[in-house]
Amino acid sequence: MEASASDGFCGTSYAAKLLGVSVGTVQGLVEKNELQAWKTQGGHRRISLTSIYDYQRRYNLHATPFGPEQQRLRVLVVDDDPPTREMLQSHFQQWKGPIDVSFYASPLDAMLDMFSLQPHVLITDLNMPVIDGFEFLRAVGNHSLFRKLAVLVITGLTAEQIHSRGGLPDGVQILRKPIDLDWLKGFFDAMLSMRQMTRRSLDASRPSDNAAV
């Protein structure tokens, strides 16, 4: 089955937000065929948004407080450190905005899924085994998708150490360790606000249904 996040699928964490339940409950609903889902090449489950909305209607659940589907911010996090992933996942779940996050321990797995998930934001560590963040960014930097990405790197490396390893592509922002979670939340609040403003601008530029032909 070929589909992308922009074709109406989301991750389990985002599905849990929409339904107001735990990730484990979402996984159980998938296993009971209450929700439709598929797995990416990297082994991550993607859930049909239509099946989520159908489930809400079927059981008279409150609809999501989020805006239109187009405002959902898709985020890809790549970090081999489990505590860092768990910390970020916990904070993303606490941030109630329409942020759909997929977590990967390996750049290889992330690259398998990246071009089907079509993320808006990429967050990656630099020091990782097998393929480090430098190689990862060079690999994805050759693809047209990269030009549309907001990229954050998480690192404890100094500017000199980064330069000695080939540097980073233009436009990449550096988030120093320990991670400033307040800054990160502000970054995503700003991203969501920008998307809402862009959406409103596009809506305003469209001809009204009542406009004279």
| Predicted pLDDT at 174 | 96
Q: Is the pLDDT of residue 213 over 70?
A: no
pLDDT of residue 103: 93
The answer to whether residues 117 and 148 belong to one domain is: yes
Q: Please indicate, yes or no, whether residues 61 and 74 belong to a single structural domain of this protein.
A: no
Could you list the residue range(s) of the whole structural domain that residue 91 is in? 70-203
Residue identified by tokens 């450190």 is: 81
Q: What is the pLDDT of residue 153?
A: 97
What is the tens place of the pLDDT at every residue in 144-172?
888 889 999 999 999 999 999 999 998 99
Q: Are residues 45 and 32 in the same domain?
A: yes
Among 94, 114, 98, 91, smallest CA distance to 44 is for: 114
Residues 141 and 37 in one domain: no
Look at residue 212 and tell me if it is in a domain.
no
- Tokens 């990782």 belong to 128
Model pLDDT, residue 101: 92
Band of pLDDT at residue 69, cut at 50, 70 and 90: low
Instruction: Count the alpha carbons within 13 Å of 122 in the hemisphere toward its beta carbon.
Output: 27
Alpha helix (H) residue ranges in 95-150: 107-117, 133-141
**Dihedrals φ, ψ of 196, to 5°?**
-65, -40
- Decide: 97 and 189 in contact? Cβ < 8 Å: yes
Listed range (87-101, 132-146, 193-207) with the worst mean pLDDT: 193-207
Residues 28 and 132 grouped into a single domain? no
How far, in Å, CA of 164 to CA of 79, rounded?
21
95/185 same-domain check = yes
User: Which residue bears the tokens 């060079």?
Assistant: 138
Walk across the sheet containing 150-155 and list its strands: 99-104, 73-78, 121-125, 150-155, 173-176
The structural domain count of the chain equals 2
Q: Is 60 exceeded by the pLDDT of residue 73?
A: yes
Judge if 167 and 88 occupy the same domain. Answer: yes
> Is 213 contained in some domain?
no
The residue among 180 and 94 whose pLDDT is bigger is 180
Q: Examine residue 210 and state whether it is found in any structural domain, yes or no.
A: no
